[in-house]
Amino acid sequence: MDTFRAMVIDQVDGKPKAGFRNLTMAELPDNDVLVKVEYSTLNYKDGLAISGRGRIARRFPMVAGADLAGTVVESRAPEWKAGDKVVVNGWGMSETEWGGYSGYQRVKAGWLTRLPDAFTLEQAMAIGTAGYTAALCVLALEDWGTIRKGEGEVLVTGAAGGVGSVAVALLASRGYPVTASTGRPDTHDYLKGLGATQFVDRATLAEKGGPLQKERWTGAVDSVGSTTLANVLAQTVYGGAVAACGLAGGFDLPGTVMPHILRGVTLIGVDSVMAPAAKRDRAWALLAESLDRDKLAAMTTVEPMDRLPELADAIMAGQTRGRVVIKIG
């Protein structure tokens, strides 16, 4: 326990560079709660950070990893005690705060979510930021109120990815008919297993389309952005809503106001990083209630920390399926 391994991003010649390093307790930030990290995950943002393709770390050195799950070792905060099982998603970890790819981490008490009884630490990381963001998107659509159980179609873009897979599983188990947009036809059986009933080739959504197209989606979860999101908005039914959380296809939004001003379509922005605790609790409660554990297992692979560099390249190339849990050690 004198030293432990971490994946650290440094700045070399003005560019972020990731590598493994041994850290000591004395090097960890002076936050209230020391956690022995057992699992982390690989999200798209982690891929950007490790591969150097995105400027995620905003100070250096930075311990990467947007998520962690583990056990409290010691706490100066009265609400947490040694032995508590905890999860942290976001709160700037891997950006401005040291993150989860580390044998131990010291975090602020307010960032911790108590591990729901319904999940093991490994399952909590199988969900991770991507899955908890999918839950925030589903909540946003349900709160908006235009998606209907057993009626219409709810679209999920980037369906075979992490956010997409959890969104498909959650929406299907809550009774909404799910259409999955994917660029990988070989994932259709996998997505059917998660509950998708119809498919759209992602190439058709990536082509620029008209400002108002045939109304189809009562709601949508979009992790792709760009032309895809513009088309999804143009195909959303009168009064419907789209929960947008991602930019896997690009961060631009080349659309028009027409769906909004002529069909009353709403674009709901979803952020997981700084979401307040009450919203997080609702999302985890929804996951505990509606995420089928067999489906969660079917969408998850567990990988050792050593493979992070190659896994980061794979998620950047859109080649990972579902969720990747990282065993810390």
| Residues engaged in binding ligand NDP (CB under 6 A) | 43-45, 129-130, 133, 158-164, 182-184, 202, 223-224, 228, 245-249, 270-273, 315, 318, 320
Residue 80 CB, nearest approach to ligand NDP (Å): 24
Residue 296 CB, nearest approach to ligand NDP (Å): 14
8-state DSSP, 151? B
Looking at beta carbons, which residue is closest to ligand NDP? 161
Smaller CB separation from ligand NDP, 122 or 313: 313
Residue 67 CB, nearest approach to ligand NDP (Å): 10
Smaller CB separation from ligand NDP, 128 or 177: 128
Smaller CB separation from ligand NDP, 24 or 204: 204
Residue 318 CB, nearest approach to ligand NDP (Å): 4
What is the rounded CA–CA span in Å between residue 149 and residue 219? Answer: 12
Smaller CB separation from ligand NDP, 158 or 177: 158
| Burial grade of 317 (CB within 10 A; 0-12, 13-18, 19 or more) | exposed
Helices (H) and strands (E) in the chain, counts: 10, 16
Residue 33 CB, nearest approach to ligand NDP (Å): 23
Smaller CB separation from ligand NDP, 160 or 169: 160
Residue 249 CB, nearest approach to ligand NDP (Å): 3
Whether the link from the prior residue into 116 is cis, omega within 30° of 0, is no
171 closest CA partner among 125, 128, 209, 218: 218
Which long-range contacts (C-beta less than 8 Å, at least 24 apart) are formed by 18-26?
Answer: 18/49, 18/50, 18/51, 18/52, 18/64, 18/308, 18/309, 18/312, 20/305, 20/306, 21/61, 23/63, 23/102, 23/103, 23/104, 25/1, 25/104
Smaller CB separation from ligand NDP, 125 or 224: 224
Structure tokens at 322: 């579902």
Smaller CB separation from ligand NDP, 75 or 133: 133
Length of the chain: 329
H/E element holding 283?
A: helix 277-290
Residue 200 CB, nearest approach to ligand NDP (Å): 10
183 closest CA partner among 199, 168, 205, 201: 201
* Residue 302 burial (CB count, 10 A): 13
Half-sphere exposure of 75 (CA within 13 A, CB side): 20
Residue 83 CB, nearest approach to ligand NDP (Å): 29
Smaller CB separation from ligand NDP, 146 or 228: 228
For 140, phi then psi, to 5°, come to -60, -40
